[in-house]
Amino acid sequence: MSSSDSSFTSASLPAHIAIIMDGNNRWAKQRHLPGLAGHKAGVHSVRQTIEACVELGVEVLTLFAFSSENWKRPEKEVSGLMDLFLLSLDREVKKLHRHGIRLRIIGDRSRFSEKLQKRMHDAELLTANNTRLVLNVAANYGGRWDIVESAKKLTQACLLGKIQLDDIDEVCFNNFTSLADLPAPDLCIRTGGEQRISNFLIWQMAYTELYFCDCYWPDFGKADLQKAIECYSSRQRRFGKTSDQIEA
C-alpha cells in the first residue's frame, strides 16, 4: 500500500489517527504462550502501522502503549513490558529518525526507571526536528490524568497572574493538555474486539470517529488500517451541524 495507489484524498484521510493496541495477551493465550510474547509480536504491527501512515501521508499517529491502570497487571508482565519498552527505544529510534519521524512520549514518566526516562528524553531530542510524521507514544498515560495535570498547570498560571479567570475557555484549557500543539484525533481505532476508549485521550476525542475491529493487535496490518480509514472516509462529520449545512 503506497501513496501512489491509495484512493484517499486529503479530505478523506484522517490527519491524526489514535490507536488502542488491544489483544496482545489474548493473542498469546490462544497460542499457549506467555502474555509478554503477545506484546513482543505486537511490535511488528507497530512498525507496519507507522510505515502505512508515512506512505499515506497521515500527519500524526498516537499509540496507547501503557495506561496508568496497567500497573495493576502481574509484576512479571509489567517488568517485562518495561524491558521491552527500553529495548524498542534502543532498536527503533534511529530508524524513526532516518525516516523523518518525530517521537514524542506522553504520560507521567515519574514511575519509570531513571534509565528508561533518559532513553525517552534522548529519543525525543534526537527526533525533535523531524516533520514527516509525529509519533506519540502514550506511556503511563490516562485521559483523566491529562485533564487533572492541565487543571493544575492552568491554576498555577492563574495564581501567577499569567491568565485571568475570564480568559479560561476550551481553547485555553486545551493549551495545557499533552497534545496541545497537535490536531485532535480524527479517527481512533481499537483492536481486540472491545468497544470502549479506556481512559485514552478523553479530552481530545470529543468528536473523534471510533472504529472497533475484532483482530488482536499482533494480527493488525496495513490492510486493516486501510479498511479503518475507508470506513472513516465514508462517514459524514457534522460537529453539531445538520447534514444539509455540511452538504451546502
Q: Give the residue numbers marked as catalytic.
A: 22, 70
Q: Decide if 138 contacts 159 (C-beta within 8 A).
A: no
Residue 24, all three cell numbers: 496482545
DSSP string covering 136-178: EEEEEE-HHHHHHHHHHHHHHHHHTTSS-GGG-SHHHHHTTST
DSSP string covering the chain: --GGG----TTTS-SEEEEE---HHHHHHHTT--HHHHHHHHHHHHHHHHHHHHHHT-SEEEEEEEETTGGGS-HHHHHHHHHHHHHHHHHHHHHHHHTTEEEEEES-GGGS-HHHHHHHHHHHHHHTT--SEEEEEEEEE-HHHHHHHHHHHHHHHHHTTSS-GGG-SHHHHHTTSTTTTSPPPSEEEE-SS--S-TTSSTTTTTTPEEEE-SS-GGG--HHHHHHHHHHHHTS---TTS-HHHHH-
Q: Which is nearest to 39 in space by CA: 101, 85, 5?
A: 85
